[in-house]
Amino acid sequence: MSPPASLSRSQFEIACKASLLEHVRNDRDELAQRHLQGWTWVEHAFASGLGYLSRTVQLSHRQDTGCDDSGCVDEFDGQIVLEEYDDAVLSDPRASDTLIARQYVVHSATYQVPVFYFTIHNSKGAPLCLNDILRTSLFRPHTLPPSKITPFALSPEYSSFPLLSQGDHPTLGTPSWYIHPCETPKVIGEILTELPQRTGTEDPIQWMRVWFAVLGGVVDLRA
């Protein structure tokens, strides 16, 4: 039997709640400690069955770059990290500015998979443009492919779908960024197929563990 390429909303809720409980009980699981630190389950204020995972973390700038009067850069080559900073960067107030990221894991009714949503604001509450977001510590070094960048999306050269898009949070209705889930069913399905004895193919908790591991390869989930 082929592994499921999706999670129903009820499976998503069960898996999220069970994963958080497992995280609290098993502090020896290094992977779970990295990926699940700080997350909480939030119920919808009015409608049942529309809950999601949420957390707030602090991020930092990676280098002196961003938007100016001419806007954001048009091309992004994936090379976003400088290991050392020169005096000009260290003197830039943005280098020490505290960045607040609100992160969410929400169920997609369209794709029937979890989706990672987020917002990033500086210490004055202003949202970062996409070019600045790509230079924060949110993304792991050298994991994003060469892409075309616009104010609203990051689109890899080889893909017909954007990797990052801007849209409303499905539950809150607030403007957010999200990692497009179009490839999620395929990627998760392939990994589940390779698990020993295929134990993860019918287990929504294992499904979520694999999803967090895949997300953690691109997004730095350490709180």
| 126 within domain boundaries | yes
| 164 within domain boundaries | yes
- DSSP state letters, 70-123: TBS-SEE-S----SS--HHHHHSHHHH--EEEEEEEEE-TTTSSEEEEEEEE-T
pLDDT of residue 5: 72
pLDDT in tens, 58-87: 999 875 444 433 333 444 444 333 223 333
| 173 within domain boundaries | yes
How many domains in the chain? 1
Contact between 144 and 74 (Cβ < 8 Å): no
pLDDT of residue 33: 59
| 86 within domain boundaries | yes
pLDDT in tens, 84-106: 333 333 334 444 578 999 999 99
pLDDT of residue 81: 31
Of 51, 3, 46, the residue nearest 190 (C-alpha) = 3
pLDDT of residue 52: 96
| 1 within domain boundaries | no
| 135 within domain boundaries | yes
| 2 within domain boundaries | no
pLDDT band at 19 (very low <50, low <70, confident <90, very high): confident
Q: For the chain, give the mean pLDDT.
A: 79
| 3 within domain boundaries | no
Contact between 118 and 99 (Cβ < 8 Å): no
The amino acid at residue 24 is V
User: Which domain does 133 fall in, by range?
Assistant: 9-216
